[in-house]
Amino acid sequence: MMERLEPVPAGGLGTTKPIEDPPVVEEHNGANGANGKRLLVGTMDQMLVFNDPATQCQRSMKINGYLYSDDTPEEVNARADLARTVLERQFLMQDLQRMADQRESYIQGMTQHRDYLKELSKRKAARAAGDGKVKNLTASELKVLNEGEEKLLQTEKGLQELDKKIAATKAKCGITE
């Protein structure tokens, strides 16, 4: 058992106090601990913070690991790698949910835009047919009507890219659907 000095009080000398041995966690055949027992000598932590831009919330996930008296660097690295792999998968799963929500928003936006374009087309056709009860299209409505199909094509391309990202993320997570 080792001894350590307590902090020195103002104007005095420190007194010695025994340091307790680290806790023994399990029987072990190695010679690292007293009487062949494996000793817990430290801990390691890995943490991942999830930021959700839509809600401006943060969530975190933390994995703790132990360091033992007989650990080799390879064993410590293997445990650290495992913890990181688990955290990365959880991050990807969270990101997958975000992308699924974004995909749903794309589809809703495209549906609303198509409906609006149909309404504008009907109004333009009715006005061209001489229906005086129908309002003329404003300049901004004419611009939306003229650029509408191009905007839909851009949104569809964005949706296709998002679907590729979703598929790649699912593959990384081992999800087969």
The per-residue pLDDT for range 85-120, each reduced to its tens digit, is 999 998 899 889 889 999 999 999 999 999 999 999
| Strand order from edge to edge, sheet including 24-27 | 24-27, 37-52, 57-68
pTM of the entire predicted model: 0.62
126 and 136 in contact (C-beta within 8 Å)?
Answer: no
DSSP track, 11-74: TS---EEEPPPPPEEEE-SSSSSGGGEEEEEEEEEEEEEEEETTTTEEEEEEEEEEEETT--HH
Could you read off the pLDDT of 29-79 as tens digits, one per residue? Answer: 444 555 567 888 899 999 988 877 666 778 888 999 999 988 999 999 999
70 touches 28 (CB < 8 A)? yes
Q: Cα(3)–Cα(84) distance, rounded to whole angstroms?
A: 38
Please determine, for residue 3, whether its predicted confidence score (pLDDT) is greater than 50. Answer: no
Return the closest-CA partner of residue 175 out of 81, 100, 102: 100
117 vs 150: CA distance, rounded Å: 12
Dist CA 163 CA 153 (whole Å): 15
